[in-house]
Amino acid sequence: MSSGTIIFALLVIGVTALGFLASRWGNPNLGSLDEWALGGRRFGTLVSWFLLGGDLYTAYTFIAVPALVYGVGALGFFAVPYATIAYPIAFVILSRFWGIAHRRGYLTAADFVRDRFGDRTLEIAVASTGVLAALPYIALQLDGMRAVFAKIGGAFAASDGLLALVVAFVLLAGYTYTSGLRAPAMIAFVKDTLIYVTVIAAITIIPARLGGWAHIFSVSQQTLAARPKADSTLLAPQQYFAYATWAFGSSLSLFIYPHSITSVLAAKSRGVIRRNAALLPIYSLLLGFLALLGFCAIAAGIVTSNSSSVVPTLIDRFFPSWFAGIAQAAIVIGALVPAAIMAIGSANLFSSNIVAGFTASRASGNATLAKRLTLGFCAIALLLVMVVPVQYAIYFQLLGGAWMLQIFPAFVFGMYTRWFHPKALLLGWVCGMTAATAMAAATGFTPNITLHVGGTAITGFLALYALAINLAVAALATLAMRAIRADAGIDMTTEADYA
């Protein structure tokens, strides 16, 4: 066994122990939903910073973004403006949501939608969107872990990393069941520290060994231009719109994913959310440097058809064994944290909004059902990875992102206005979901679609087009519902809840 494998194994065993020990953090009553699923809503600025950072910047992100830059050049850098403007949006929307949720005892976004619009079907629509979008996301975290296990070799690589994956995931399900959100919150400290160490080391060592950035970019430019489908280290003017809409649309959906909402509601105050909106961009800087590693991979002459192996291959090639062990542990632990939070977030939605509807008296609820559902979601995600080819999981995740955006009118606009009619929002949602699915299928599951408007072709982010359709339908249907004076449901929230 190499020194790297030993370090890797020790780190992974260490965080597993931490995950189980987390159940004693603050001596909680873990039978209560607020304690189990939201850590008692007591996390301060520092804990929330690690938790949200560990939650939003997943192992999949860290593998997929450099891989995208490696694959398409400048266009792949959209992740950086995306992870920049997400924060002004989060600052405004989430501090408002935190306040409402705190007063009304919400656990999910669908809780709010039900409370605000009084419509059970809309509640189920919003909740199932979140669950469907989270599942492939969990599966992709698992796939990232599996790629690392396969690379490490030895016992870890048995049956292409599947055996190690199953063991790691059963343990994950175990401590998530036992400790709830406290487990990923505690592990996030280790995860983020390892990620920072790895990225800073990578970004100092690798470019220097490759002859500096100027050289890396000039080689990348030549290599990209020479590919069958030529790309560049700069955007082509016809890519501007796709680049901007891709970044903007993605930033709108980032914080309405169930795992984001779960971490946000675990904060102890509105101030924690506001401060973190200003502090979390540090992770985006990290993501940006990591994206540049995609060019390092091109300059290093790495040629692969499996783009998700780009980062593990770079690590393998440029780091000594012991440090590669740290980097690989960073990726695996980086997958465990968001996977646990996604499972908890989905379980919350399922138990709070699908099995039974939200009621204000549920706030003191029992965690038993959500805990069991977490095990169920872990099992489904594991099954997805074992049975479905990874390419389908990627398609599914992409589609999930487009779907997620379709709850924006009910959830986000709903926080500012009760103008929309609940049935109109539901109709808009149906049209948005259908349009997103149809466009994704038509493009062969690429994020951007080309529309021909009056002889000119415009390529843009399809999720945003679907949202435009969704909003237009919801607005028109609202006017129609008002014209026939249809019953608009009961709004249980009051003006004071939004203060």
Partner 1 sequence: MKKRAWYALLVLPFIGTLFPQIYNRAEPALFGIPFFYWYQLAWVIVTSLLLGIVVIATRRRDDV
Binding site for partner 1 (CB under 8 A): 74, 77, 80-81, 83-85, 87-88, 91-92, 212-217, 233-235, 237, 239-240, 243-244, 247-248, 269-271, 274-275, 277-279, 281-282, 284-285, 288-289, 292
CB of 27 to partner 1, least distance (A): 23
Q: Which two tokens stand for residue 96?
A: 């408002």
CB atoms within 10 A of CB 208: 10
CB of 277 to partner 1, least distance (A): 5
CB of 45 to partner 1, least distance (A): 10
Whether the CA torsion 267, 270, 274, 275 is positive or negative: it is negative
Asked if residue 149 lies in contact with residue 128, where contact means CB atoms within 8 angstroms, the answer is: no
Residue number with CB closer to partner 1 (92 or 354) = 92
Residue number with CB closer to partner 1 (270 or 418) = 270
End-to-end C-alpha distance for the chain, whole angstroms = 59
Largest CA distance in the chain: 74
Residue number with CB closer to partner 1 (233 or 352) = 233
Asked if residue 254 lies in contact with residue 56, where contact means CB atoms within 8 angstroms, the answer is: yes
Separation CA 15–CA 329 (nearest Å) = 10
CB of 430 to partner 1, least distance (A): 29
CB of 260 to partner 1, least distance (A): 17
CB of 242 to partner 1, least distance (A): 10
Q: Which two tokens stand for residue 36?
A: 């189990």
Residue number with CB closer to partner 1 (141 or 269) = 269
Amino acid, single-letter form, for residue 37? A
Q: For residue 433, with 0-12 CB atoms within 10 Å meaning exposed, 13-18 middle and 19 or more buried, which class applies? A: buried
Separation CA 243–CA 105 (nearest Å) = 38
Residue number with CB closer to partner 1 (236 or 388) = 236
CB of 216 to partner 1, least distance (A): 7
CB of 481 to partner 1, least distance (A): 32
Asked if residue 184 lies in contact with residue 191, where contact means CB atoms within 8 angstroms, the answer is: no
Residue number with CB closer to partner 1 (325 or 460) = 460
List 267's β-bridge partners, or say none: 43
Asked if residue 424 lies in contact with residue 484, where contact means CB atoms within 8 angstroms, the answer is: no
Residue 366 Cα distances to 37, 423, 466, 494, angstroms: 10, 31, 37, 26
Please provide residue 145's backbone torsions phi and psi, each rounded to the nearest 5 degrees: -65, -45
Residue number with CB closer to partner 1 (53 or 161) = 53
* Percentages of the chain per state (helix, strand, coil), in multiples of 5: 80, 5, 15
Residue number with CB closer to partner 1 (77 or 403) = 77
CB of 267 to partner 1, least distance (A): 11
Asked if residue 258 lies in contact with residue 348, where contact means CB atoms within 8 angstroms, the answer is: yes
Quote the radius of gyration of the chain (alpha carbons, Å). Answer: 22
Residue number with CB closer to partner 1 (86 or 393) = 86
